[in-house]
């Protein structure tokens, strides 16, 4: 009899896999076998701060890229998921206990969703921008710009599809993000971090933290360099606490809503969701005679 060595997953901050400052870890247990799947890092307040420090230059780099460049990088991410469908479906299956067939279906939905946003990356500004009717002698137009750093709080289930959906929603318009993964089933998102690390994303664009949500969320929502919070969980009391913290520095807040249907194309693949993480800039020009 030999003792199996469970993999220790680190945090993904600034394009690198780093150990948590707290040096704490938890065990992820499979509901299918009842055995330990892996060990995960328990992030701390310092890790939130490090993620925000990494996300700011990541935002500057990502938002300066053309829509075409962002499109190609997202498409590469979809290619890599396609190549590793078996690995991802297995991680979803052992983490959540859903059937193998449903796990494969979820991974394929993730791939299709990334492809949608890859196609939207170089088109969303044309679709959201407008030329405004103003008085004679002036030319006025409005364009959308990314908000900055988006804090994403994922639900406990499903394990992978919400992560792909909300990350793509923030990235397609040029934002960077800090993601707090599911406590119960973090393995699929941690596996996604391995894909992100080799998908040509600039460092700091996507940062992924694991650990106790009750410890991490207040620090993320209260951080003054985080520009928006995307709350996708169902804890009403935590939602109210986040809204109060966001009000301290007029941080944009969005909630995906209770009982969100993550498989719905209508609810997840549209222009309205990415617009939640943008700001409108209006420009005036005088018209020559």
Nearest to 25 by CA among 147, 142, 190, 146: 190
> Taking CA 41 as the corner, what is the angle to CA 37 and CA 44, rounded to the nearest 5 degrees?
150
What is the edge-to-edge ordering of all strands in the sheet holding 36-41? Answer: 7-9, 36-41, 25-29
CA dist 185 and 208 (Å) reads: 14
- Determine the distance from the C-alpha atom of residue 216 to the mean position of all C-alpha atoms in its chain, rounded to a whole number: 16
CATH fold for domain 7-286: Aldehyde Dehydrogenase; Chain A, domain 1 (3.40.605)
Task: For residue range 216-250, list pLDDT tens digits in order.
Answer: 999 999 999 999 999 999 889 999 999 999 998 88
Average pLDDT, integer, range 114-121: 96
All structural domains of the chain with their residue ranges: 7-286
Task: For residue range 148-201, list pLDDT tens digits in order.
Answer: 999 999 999 898 999 999 999 999 999 999 999 999 999 999 999 999 998 899
pLDDT score of 214 more than 70? yes
Long-range contacts of 128-134 (CB under 8 A, 24+ apart): 128/271, 128/275, 128/278, 132/282, 134/284
Q: Are 179 and 12 in contact (CB under 8 A)?
A: no
């Amino acid at each position: 009899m030999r003792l199996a060595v469970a993999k220790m997953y680190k945090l993904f901050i600034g394009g690198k896999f780093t150990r948590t400052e707290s040096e704490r870890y938890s065990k992820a247990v499979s509901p299918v076998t009842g055995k330990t799947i892996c060990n995960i890092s328990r992030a701390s307040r310092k890790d939130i701060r490090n993620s925000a420090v990494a996300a700011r230059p990541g935002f500057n780099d990502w938002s300066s890229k053309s829509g075409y460049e962002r499109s190609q990088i997202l498409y590469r991410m979809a290619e890599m998921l396609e190549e590793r469908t078996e690995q991802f479906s297995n991680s979803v299956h052992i983490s959540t206990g859903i059937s193998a067939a449903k796990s494969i279906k979820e991974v394929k939905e993730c791939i299709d969703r990334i492809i949608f946003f890859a196609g939207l990356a170089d088109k969303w500004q044309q679709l959201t921008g407008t030329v405004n009717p103003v008085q004679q002698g002036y030319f006025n137009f409005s364009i959308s710009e990314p908000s900055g750093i988006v804090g994403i709080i994922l639900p406990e289930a499903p394990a992978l599809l919400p992560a792909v959906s909300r990350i793509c929603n923030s990235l397609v318009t040029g934002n960077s993000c800090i993601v707090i993964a599911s406590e119960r089933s973090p393995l699929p998102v941690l596996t996604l971090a391995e894909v992100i690390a080799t998908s040509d994303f600039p460092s700091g664009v996507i940062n992924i933290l694991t650990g106790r949500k009750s410890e991490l969320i207040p620090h993320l929502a209260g951080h003054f360099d985080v520009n928006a919070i995307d709350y996708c969980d169902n804890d009403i009391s935590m939602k109210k606490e986040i809204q109060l913290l966001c009000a301290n520095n007029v941080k944009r807040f969005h909630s995906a809503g209770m009982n969100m249907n993550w498989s719905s194309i209508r609810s997840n693949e549209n222009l309205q969701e990415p617009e939640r993480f943008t700001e409108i800039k209006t420009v005036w020009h005088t018209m020559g005679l």
